[in-house]
Structure 1
């Protein structure tokens, strides 16, 4: 009999990567947030402000508490983490897939930067480089978490 039929809970667990994705997204999002906060503190480039910026969302107050904006950032990271774990469960290659997602998510600078006067301009090369580096760090952390999750799923050789 097929393993999924014998062990439906295992099948459900592998098809819905919720917990692994949530944890992966939280860890990666925290690394990205702390990295960009440190860069902003050290250089003055407002890349952390850009990460948390939601000025463009209609109906929200102009300024929200940092913890609330950071929570929204982590929510996006969790969605990415769930998608990422689902993706590597089907295709493997956790590190390269993580870096790919980090690189692709760095492209959000292009539509987000013009939406607020509080963040660096698209022409600010330093900010673009810091933002990109932070998102590559995000991708590497995704990849490392994914390698760990992937290694835990491999059957033990006896």
Structure 2
């Protein structure tokens, strides 16, 4: 069950993050979506550059992994408390948001600078959306499986 729900919530949250950053890039002209999809520095997958479907699949594979980790921890700890799940999703999404620095430093193509406060703020906002959707979609998908309230 962990694999199935982890895949669903990882996919839902990954689509939310990608959609958010895509919209930001189109509206404000900040290349935060380009940064999210950037694989030009990874040997062996450099050929994916310019192939949006491959870039998208790489992004979703990371989101799926985070979804699996989230569900594994929640179900291993039997953490039915929504506060724990909210904090956990925040920590996982904050970890993902920290990729801004290495992705920017390693990028060959043009991405936002490390000093671009607006881009960094919107990147962080996108990852906050990711965390909220991760936790929220787990709550929605697992609603019927919850233990009865005492």
TM-score by length of 2: 0.87
1:61 CA displacement: 2.2
Matches within 5 A, 1:2-151: 13=1, 17-59=2-44, 60-61=46-47, 63-91=49-77, 92=79, 93-116=84-107, 117-151=109-143
1:48 CA displacement: 0.1
The more displaced of 141-150 and 128-137 is 141-150
SS for the counterpart of 1:129 is helix
List runs of 5+ in structure 1 lacking aligned partners.
1-12
Greater RCO, CA 8 A, separation 6+: 2
Number of residues of Structure 1 aligned to a counterpart in Structure 2: 142
Would you say the 8 A contact 1:113–1:119 is kept in 2?
yes
The more displaced of 138-147 and 31-40 is 138-147
SS for the counterpart of 1:61 is helix
When the two chains are superposed, the root-mean-square deviation of aligned CA atoms in Å is: 1.6
1:150 CA displacement: 4.3
Structure 1 CA distance, aligned partners of 2:48 and 2:147?
A: 51
Structure 2 CA distance, aligned partners of 1:69 and 1:62?
A: 6
Which of the two has higher C-alpha Rg?
1
1:36 CA displacement: 0.1
List runs of 5+ in structure 2 lacking aligned partners.
none
Cα separation, partners in 2 of 1:112 and 1:43, compared to 1, 3 Å: same
1:107 CA displacement: 0.5
